[in-house]
Amino acid sequence: MLVYFIGTGGSEGIPAHLCTCSSCNEARKFGFAQRRPSTLAVVTENRKTVLFDVGTDIRDFLNVPLEAIFLTHWHHDHIYGLYKLRWMAMETELYAPEGQADALILNEPKNLKPKTLKPMDRIKIDTLKITALKLNHQVETLGYLIEEDGKSFALLYDTKGLPEETWQVLRKKAPLRGVVVDATYPPGFNDPYHNNVDEAAEIGLQLAERTVLSHISHKNLPFLELVEYVRKRWGNKVLVAYDGMVFYV
């Protein structure tokens, strides 16, 4: 499978409108430092596509049928693109946790077919086996373990640390090929709902051959500084995601 990072930012995206912090200023100079809100696609061995979160309008990046859409949670930065996508000309299943579901999407789903998922629910989509995992966030949130032909990959945002039950599931599968972890904030920053860069890397290093840091806020280190910090500390075991990045699992 191939993982396509369409959006790797936090709620505000980078640059945030009119913000003059160093992350936002840098992103106005270097296009690669810009970040759309979190949106990720998995392309299977059969070239089928599954979408995980829709933080942005996907039409410029992905113009194929979607086998299914999975939401991690209903915060606006993970569902914003759904408002437009629900008009697509093909019925598509939308799997999501129940908590804090968006009323507009549920009342007027158009061509989306919403279905509720709970931790440890398992779904087969094309060649993928997808397991929902409990995460630690402000609202009910699911991570996903995605397995295909003996190779596995996990998506772990938004979260602060991991619940014990999720550690247990993932440790049994370790080392995964890759894991994407919430790294919203800079090293040393403490937030009850999101990891900082060090917390995210420590989770990933225990579970996977490669850790990809994503869901990055403009409050984090500016792109080039962040890449330098991560490279010096963890070599190529930990990568900083960027919009347009492709990771082959």
* Nearer Cβ to Zn ion (3/16): 16
Binds Zn ion (CB under 5 A): choice among 145, 195, 218, 241: 218
Q: How far is the CB of 180 from Zn ion (least distance, A)?
A: 13
Does residue 26 bind Zn ion (CB under 5 A)? no
Query: For Zn ion, which stretch binds (CB under 5 A), given 41-49, 103-111, 165-173, 215-223?
Result: 215-223
User: Which are the contacts of 133, defined by CB distance < 8 A and separation ≥ 6?
Assistant: 119, 120, 142, 143, 144, 145, 154, 156, 166, 169, 170
Query: For Zn ion, which stretch binds (CB under 5 A), given 19-27, 28-36, 42-50, 205-213?
Result: 19-27
151 token code pair: 């190779």
* Nearer Cβ to Zn ion (15/178): 15
Q: How far is the CB of 51 from Zn ion (least distance, A)?
A: 16
209 token code pair: 């051959």
User: Which are the contacts of 34, defined by CB distance < 8 A and separation ≥ 6?
Assistant: 13, 14, 15, 27, 243
Does residue 100 bind Zn ion (CB under 5 A)? no
- What is the distance between the alpha carbons of residues 197 and 200, in angstroms, rounded to a whole number? 5
* Nearer Cβ to Zn ion (39/152): 39
- What is the distance between the alpha carbons of residues 208 and 143, in angstroms, rounded to a whole number? 15
Question: Residue 172 phi/psi, 5° resolution?
Answer: -65, -25
Binds Zn ion (CB under 5 A): choice among 16, 41, 221, 241: 16
Q: Which residues bind Zn ion (CB under 5 A)?
A: 16, 19, 21, 24, 75, 77, 158, 218
